[in-house]
Amino acid sequence: MSHERNLTLDERAIIWSAKREELAERPLLVLLHGVGSNESDLFSMSPALPLTPVIASLRAFDPHGPGWSWYPLDTPGRPRSEDVDDAAVAILRWLDSLDPQPSSVALMGFSQGAAVALQTLRHAPDRFDFVVQIAGYVTDGDAPGDARLQELRPPVFWGRGTADYVIPPAAVAHTDEWLPRHSTLDRRVYEDLPHAVSQTELADIVGFMRRHYS
């Protein structure tokens, strides 16, 4: 892939909820923030999340405004799939480098981070227990694991608000059509919620996680 950017996560920026050694006995939950934000953002939700996993909140690769970006924004909701692939491959490389290896891995992303979470799943369908995508979308085009995903149908939580005008309707429609064919989908739509996470949605996410960690 001649376009490929050899991206590397900044290890010093990762926020961990526990010592890495605990990965030998515990699952790992990876958090991927939205564009212009940073690793502290989703980690602020961690006190509400189930205690089962070790949480690692990652920082994206490129400076963007006050924070960071996982890939060039390009057309909102229609990024170049190669750019999202590069981010997914870098996350998989980082997961490969973990010692000890976690007993299992799940992903949770917001907006741009949600798109990267889904793309990472599409590259390694057998690797992840579930994905939580908040106010996100699936990237256009094909990915290496799409056929396998249709067989596995891993659990995916997808939450969005009716007042979210950041993600274009075409990206929402594409995601709405794609996810039911490639996952066991828990789809939640929140009335009047903008591009954000509400307490109601957080409670639904916690319930979804508890079911899969039980």
Q: Is the peptide bond before 100 cis (omega within 30 degrees of 0)?
A: yes
Is pLDDT at 2 greater than 50 in this prediction?
no
Range with lowest mean pLDDT among 71-75, 154-158, 168-172: 71-75
pLDDT tens across 76-119, in order?
A: 678 789 999 999 999 999 999 999 999 999 999 999 999 999 99
* pLDDT the model gives residue 170: 94
**What confidence category does residue 1 fall into, taking pLDDT thresholds of 50, 70 and 90?**
very low
- Rounded to two decimals, what is the model's pTM? 0.96
The answer on pLDDT for 74 being more than 80 is no
Q: Which domains does the chain have, with CATH numbers?
A: 11-213 (3.40.50.1820)
The two tokens of residue 35 are 């564009």
Listed as own residue / partner, the contacts of 46-50 with beta carbons closer than 8 Å and 24 or more positions apart are: 46/17, 48/202, 48/206, 49/205, 49/206, 49/209, 50/206, 50/209, 50/210, 50/213
Question: Looking at residue 4, what is its pLDDT?
Answer: 66
